[in-house]
Amino acid sequence: MSLKEFNREVLYTDEDLVEVSRADIAVLKKKAMANDRKRIRLCSHRDVCDPLHEMLIVNTKGAYVRPHKHLNKSESFHMLEGCADVVLLDEQGHVTEVIPLGEYSSGRNFYYRIETSHYHTLIIHSDYLVFHETIKGPFQIADTVFPSWAPEESSVEACRAYMQDMAKRIRPGH
């Protein structure tokens, strides 16, 4: 597969037929581990202007996905490897729903799609989380809203504390 690096976390392919193997996923895992934010995505769409964005995303355990919501866009996840909880939050940051996700053989939900705009984040339980995400394009940063109550990714210690607190809120006693 021919890859173009948009940045250290985002790869594109311009091939008409995109095929991904276990070996490709292994390469993506290594690249994710080498990134500061411990994640990477392979975009199978051509560029940010495409009307449909399909991505294979690899996040590692401990990666912080800042709570966010997408304006006027639906989003779906199809889990390929690992397990995580998708946490939905209200406007004040209170947990409204937890969706346990895992690969098909895990017995957890392996797919979810959300139509309306909700704040959401991921709590990753496995060493690696590999999933296929589909979202309406084109990508415009103004279509993603980050709440003031969630720490910015540049504040590593605040992010770690926030996620530890989140994990306690959704799984008391663990």
- Give me the count of residues in the chain: 174
For residues 101, 118, 115 and 83, what is the CA-based torsion angle, rounded to 10 degrees?
-10
pLDDT tens, the chain, 174 aa long: 778 888 999 999 888 899 999 999 999 999 999 999 999 999 999 888 899 999 999 999 989 999 999 998 889 999 999 999 999 999 999 999 999 999 999 999 999 999 888 999 999 999 999 999 999 888 888 889 999 999 999 999 999 999 999 988 887 544
Q: How far separated are the first and last CA of the chain, in Å rounded?
A: 42
DSSP character for 68? B
Q: What is the pTM of this model?
A: 0.91
**CB of 83 closer than 8 Å to CB of 123:** no
Task: State residue 62's pLDDT score.
Answer: 86
pLDDT of residue 109: 96
Domains of the chain: 4-170 (2.60.120.10)
Tell me how far apart the alpha carbons of residues 61 and 50 are, in angstroms, rounded to a whole number: 30
